Chain A
Amino acid sequence: MENIQNFDRKEPMAGKDKRVSLATKKRKKLIFYCAMMALPVLQFVFFYFYVNFNSFVLAFQKLDLVGGSGYEFAGMENFTTIFKEVDWGVLIENSMLLFIVMLAFGTVGAVMFSYYIYKKNPGHSIFKIILYSPHIISTVVFALLYNYFIDKAIPAIVGDPNMQPPMNNMNFVQTGTIIFNVWVSFGTQVLMYSGAMSGISESVIESGQLDGITPMKELCFIVLPSIWSTFVTFLIMRVMGIFTEQASLFSFYGADAPAHVQTLGYYLYAKVQAGASKGSVADYNELSAMGMTLTVIAVPVTLAARYCLNKFGPKTE
């Protein structure tokens, strides 16, 4: 502080004093930097790096429940077990189905709705708030409302009070949950897309309009290329979602979702939660092996998707 105050007085300092003062200032700056960064960096090291690294280690270990000697190296045993016991076909099929439907309706719908809001068409403000509302109210609340309405009100509307509640009808469960997921999915996407659209130069839009461009052509050939980086971000998140998306099944069914509708993300979370609620970590090695397997697949898929979208996507120039 004393050295800094020397600067304040603007008195000429001898060269050596000035060098000492600058060095002290730099040192103090570095100490401050280290002190402030210490906790966040430690948090990252332990809660991100160590936890993920340990997850890989756990995948090759087994908990010795009989001998009580703790974790032992198990080679590929956990991987063999998960490939035998997990119904990969159903999990992948459901995850892919959800991905495709969300892409076709959720993403396309979000872009179209954003365009409507961006053009400030009638009701744009209120639509924006309503589209965002599923992010304000908990999924568990919406899931319960949706479930009750479908199960209790729909039979009354169709005039068949003895009808099997649709959300308990195994043939409808998947359709019902997918519709729900699309229904609550627009919020953040619409905000981000409409925000990105508002950054498009007016002159670009006007020149297109002078050429007599239709709204759909404007969306496809001017607006979408202009927001391509935002669009790619959400598409990549969608691709990652293949491996993590729970399809709100936990909000509907807790840990007991019907096996034929489960997704990869749901399966993993439900198993981990079941272990935690029982106070048992016996299955965690196999679940870590499953997580590692999915990571090994997800990383190249995500990076490839990103590369392709950036390489072959529209260019604004």
Chain B
Amino acid sequence: MLDEILLRVEKPARYIGNEINMVVKDKCDINFAFCFPDVYEVGMSHLGLQILYYFLNRRSDTYCQRVFAPWIDMEAQMRSHNIPLYALETGDPIKNFDFVGFTLQYEMCYTNIINMLDLAGIPVYARDRGEDDPIVIGGGPCAYNPEPLADFFDIFYIGEGEVYYDEFLDMYKQHKKSGGSRHDFLKKAMSIPCMYVPEFYDVTYNADGTLASFKPNCPEAPPKIKKAIVKDMDSVFYPDKQLVPLIEVVHDRVTLEVFRGCIRGCRFCQAGYIYRPVREKNAQTLIDCSRSLVANSGHEEISLSSLSTSDYRQFKELANRLLELYSKDKINISLPSLRIDAFSLELMQRVQEVRKSSLTFAPEAGTQRLRNVINKGLTEEDILNGSALAFSGGRNRVKLYFMCGLPTETDEDLMGIVDLANKIVDKYHEIPKEERPRPISVVASTACFVPKPFTPFQWSAQATVSEFMRKTKLVKTSMTKKQVKYTYHEPETSSMEAVLARGDRRICDVIFRAWQLGAKFDGWTEHFKYELWLKAFDETGLSKDFYACRERSYDEILPWDHISIGVSKKFFINEAEKAKAGEVTPNCRAECGMCGAKAFGCGVCYE
């Protein structure tokens, strides 16, 4: 049956497995379905999946298999032929697995999770699951505020998977042998400090809709759940091979994880706080790693992965050695998230000998005042000098990334976006005419600011959809130079993202209702249906603006207060106040900000 269906869908190779380096095993004690709630090509490009897949499969008692969200056409075929959601390795329905684990990378995937559970024939609400159903577990960055998904998950794992999964699976095996109940296991799991089991916590609300209390309802449930982090990045497991897809995916390349965390402390950036402290890998570790990954994959590109590669202390050494090792084999080195300076430009020149790619800056805000508010250390001078350097090297295309709707933003800040783009054009024209054969092109784009948990802006109100529209229109009409192109994100998606990012447990029903009404693949512009979400809010009697556009007070109980990332609330309040005053905070290497992450006993805090 599957054979005939596969010929009727787009890209059937999404649904067959059989990739290079796929793990094949006989029967195992523990069957783990690793689910990525987006389409195959996106999920297969995700480093976390590649790491955890081999990490779990290195255990002889565990078989970790992959599951992705079937695309709309495949879902329709599966539903009409009663084919339940299956794992790619064996084709077995995931309903029969011990664990169904979802990685939560992006809020707009939430309806896909519901859809996948439903397609699998697993009760969507955790409370409806029985002894024979899998344990549904969530992890990844969005798990740091698990509340909008709390009703659908049995457990959330907070933090980095390499730390406690062994202990957790050993515990499960023992429990299965002794024939204990599901309920007992969930209680037992809470002895691991990063495990959050929502059913063992009760929430009450005030008349104004804010949280009145959030309390454990059994003695085993800890009042605070602590994120797990890897202390030593050189000894931690890293795969010596990668799954190599049979079809083109978003990133077809070897990925080297250079470090976790970021020293910068940009105040809008959740990743910059939840992955604290910065922990680097040694360049030698990375080189060793790259050899086996390249040999076992046949990839033609190596990418360095981190939040800010230029901040890697051994960056020059690593880049030079990689180039030395691989340029003769025609393997490219890709360097995302670089700060533009003389060295990075020279490096880019050496890496991409043929095609000169465009230059990318992320000033995020249009004026220095607002950049200080968000603690983005990039100055106008940096951008103009960097551009000038690049122009003299023959480049003529610049991309600029901004956000609109940032806290304290005024129209003057928005006009700053226009100014900056214009100044770059002027900078290009300073070059004598005969030395610039091609015209300059600047593309400025704005994304809508979404306040996230565990950032100094977690209390901030988001701009309303109509405010966003006014702001982007203002920028658009002010962009008059023909060399500058302006693009912007539609605000409706960002507005929903803000609700899902900072929502509480009541949002579960909104997500469920939106899914019932037909919402899925909300992260895909062509599939996002705003009106369904508005209807879902309407029917559940909740207010979207209450979650997205309301300024919260410091003493309000936040839905994610029971999760500890090791950065104190006091620090965030202090940062929020400094933001309002336009004061910057130095990066972790320049001066310790006393955020609290030093308690983990590792990384940049001890350099």
**A and B together in one complex:** no
